[in-house]
Amino acid sequence: MEDTKTHEYIYQPKPGFLLYNNLIANIEQGKIKIPQFQRKFVWDISATASLIDSILKGYPIGSFIIWKTNERLRYVRNIGDMELPETPSGEMVQYVLDGQQRMTSLFVALKGAVLKNESGATVDYSKIYVDLSAKSDEQIVITDTTDRKSDALISVVQLINSNHKIYAKYPNYGDEIDKYRDSLRTYQFSTIEVEEAPIDIATEIFTRINVGGQALTVFEIMVAKTYDEEQKFDLAERYDQLIERLSGVNYETVSSSTVLQSVAVCIEKDCTKKKILKLDKDTFIKVWDKVISSFESAVDYFRTFYRIPVSQLLPYDSLLVPFTYYFYNHKDKPLGDQQILLQDYFWRCVITQRFSSASESKLTQDISKIDDILLNKKPEYDEGVDISVDNLKSKGYFSVGSAYIKGLLCILAYQQPKSFSDNSLVTINNSWLKMATSKNYHHFFPKAYMRKSLPEIPDWLVNHIANITIVDDFLNKRSIRDRAPSKYIAEFQKSNPNLNTTLNTHLISDPNTVGVFNNDYNLFMKKRLERFNEELKNRIVLREFDKV
């Protein structure tokens, strides 16, 4: 009995060849296309001349790997000023997976195209010449005609299109013209066809062929797959438009993969790579606007209710995915139990660092939790959270790359911290939050002071989230430098009569009772960790297996 399972994923390549006329005609008629995920044509005119030189000498130039499919992807439509037509209706498209640079070089040279290179300079590919007087062991195809006999030079375009009249112009080189023209016209361009493979297989082939380059991202593949000229849908453009809008609210660092995952969970309740690549193109386009509206509602909710002012503070971009799904299925802001349960879900993901690995599968699992919340049901969790002071202390080493630390920074940002000097609202900026030395972060007990005055405190406890405050510029740092908190806080009291209120926005209680004025770092850390603990208790629906 034949095993049919193996035929689901084995695609036998078919070797073949194309002659010059077939190759050019297939490109001109729109049958052969360059998929958008291929890099731009970058070969210079010298490289193109060397390629044609190899053909005239009968050297192999490598195979073109062609993917034949009924899929209509985003592709490169124009080569220079030549607009190429759509693939004829009812015919399979032949996408070039390997050999794009060689194929484009051949086409532009044999058509004599005029292109602009990446620097904007015009390159005239009609000025590639065959030196009819050159010996076979010399360079036959050239671009530099200096010191060459003009009566022995013929352009490649003239050569391939020549007829009997050409002999009168080159009376001494009739045999060479015949030989080189026939070499071009009869050269068998080797092809390998992969027919009817799904897009994930085709792009995997492309990636493996291009082992020296970067693997294609899911986004690059989906840009190609979902492109639809008739519906004027271009995923790359739509994503850029979204990021432009998000930049207006400081959420421009959200990744394209997060956006794709959001679309996938709204359509299929699954955002694994395999599922994304199998999304139906028309369905994708149809739901795009609603999903993006829901995505922006999720961003707005994070900014307003959770008071996360910038995307750089998000513990995980991935958290936008289940919240997008929520708003896709619930047009209004969450209220009552739904609000409480969503917040509980958010902080459980942060404290357990849920999306630090296998985020795709975990997001897919979590959609059922959002479905429960939409039904006002309390989701079940397999893992408890530990928000105890001891755990906060042990996991609190300050690293801006840690989702756990970002979560605690979100709690600080929620307080809308004020400036020590004048009680003005701190501005939090995405560009300032990329590294631990950024303008927005300040050690309340300065590291230089701690090294000098309290060297017995280990570095990891000095560089701890409990010692971090969010400030808006270098003003406080210039005033503070390596000074003891007791000194610089006393000075700020003179300029800021509301300093106790200001400190409270940093989760620092009365400085007289938390070790500020007697420079008691251990007491300060203990009291501040207790404040973090209280804030987390207010955000989590505690269960029996949680530690508080």
Out of 172, 188, 209, pick the residue that ends a domain: 209
Residue 232 φ then ψ, to 5°: 55, 45
Note whether 283 and 399 are same-domain residues: no
Would 485 be classed as within a structural domain? yes
Q: CA-CA distance, 24 to 103, in Å (whole number)? A: 9
Q: CA-CA distance, 51 to 47, in Å (whole number)? A: 6
**Identity of the residue numbered 291:** V
Would 544 be classed as within a structural domain? no
Would 433 be classed as within a structural domain? yes
The confidence score (pLDDT) of residue 107 equals 87
Q: Do 134 and 108 form a contact (C-beta atoms < 8 A)?
A: no
How far is residue 518 from each of residues 406, 442, 447, 476, 511, measured CA to CA in Å? Answer: 30, 20, 17, 20, 9
Note whether 188 and 232 are same-domain residues: no
The confidence score (pLDDT) of residue 82 equals 64
Q: Do 123 and 97 form a contact (C-beta atoms < 8 A)?
A: no
Would 542 be classed as within a structural domain? no
Q: Do 315 and 406 form a contact (C-beta atoms < 8 A)?
A: yes
Would 263 be classed as within a structural domain? yes
The confidence score (pLDDT) of residue 429 equals 67
Note whether 310 and 408 are same-domain residues: no
Note whether 480 and 455 are same-domain residues: yes
**Of 30, 146, 45, the residue nearest 85 (C-alpha):** 30
**Of 66, 72, 133, 52, the residue nearest 94 (C-alpha):** 66
Note whether 21 and 139 are same-domain residues: yes
Domain count, the chain: 3
What is the DSSP-derived secondary structure letter of residue 254?
Answer: -
Structure tokens at 463: 């560089």
pTM of the predicted model over 0.75: no
Residue 218 φ then ψ, to 5°: -60, -35
Q: For 499-536, b where at least 16 C-beta lie within 10 A, e where not — what string?
A: beebbbbbbbbebeebbbbebbbeebbebbbbbbbebb
Note whether 456 and 404 are same-domain residues: yes
**Domain extent for 16:** 5-209
Would 191 be classed as within a structural domain? yes
Note whether 130 and 16 are same-domain residues: yes
Structure tokens at 450: 């701690």
**Of 26, 105, 118, the residue nearest 62 (C-alpha):** 105
Helix axis angle for 218-226 and 199-209, nearest 10°, is 130
Q: Do 495 and 423 form a contact (C-beta atoms < 8 A)?
A: no
**Of 542, 526, 160, 499, the residue nearest 340 (C-alpha):** 542
Note whether 284 and 224 are same-domain residues: yes
Q: CA-CA distance, 65 to 29, in Å (whole number)? A: 19
Q: Do 399 and 540 form a contact (C-beta atoms < 8 A)?
A: no
Note whether 275 and 137 are same-domain residues: no
Q: CA-CA distance, 16 to 195, in Å (whole number)? A: 13
Out of 354, 382, 410, pick the residue that ends a domain: 382
Note whether 167 and 94 are same-domain residues: yes
**Of 143, 136, 208, the residue nearest 179 (C-alpha):** 136
pLDDT in tens, the chain (548 residues): 444 444 455 667 889 999 988 988 888 888 888 776 666 667 789 999 999 999 999 999 989 888 888 877 766 655 655 678 888 888 888 888 888 888 888 888 888 888 877 777 888 999 999 999 999 889 999 999 988 888 999 999 999 988 888 999 999 999 999 999 999 999 999 998 888 887 777 777 776 766 555 566 888 888 878 888 788 898 989 999 999 999 999 999 999 999 999 999 999 999 998 899 889 889 999 999 999 999 999 999 999 999 999 998 999 999 999 999 999 999 899 999 999 999 999 999 999 999 998 899 999 999 999 999 999 999 999 899 999 999 999 999 999 889 999 999 999 999 999 988 888 888 776 554 444 445 678 899 999 999 999 999 999 999 999 999 988 765 555 677 788 999 999 989 988 999 999 999 999 999 999 999 999 999 999 999 999 999 999 999 999 999 99
* Paired strand residues for 78: 83
Q: For 314-351, b where at least 16 C-beta lie within 10 A, e where not — what string?
A: bbbbbbbbbbbbbbbeeeeebeeebebbbbbbbbbbbb
Out of 363, 382, 401, pick the residue that ends a domain: 382
Note whether 372 and 418 are same-domain residues: no
Would 255 be classed as within a structural domain? yes
Would 546 be classed as within a structural domain? no
Note whether 365 and 397 are same-domain residues: no
**Which own/partner pairs from 358-364 qualify as long-range (CB within 8 Å, at least 24 positions apart)?**
359/316, 359/318, 360/261, 360/271, 360/272, 360/273, 361/272, 363/261, 363/265, 363/271, 363/318, 363/321, 363/322, 364/265, 364/269, 364/270, 364/271, 364/272, 364/275
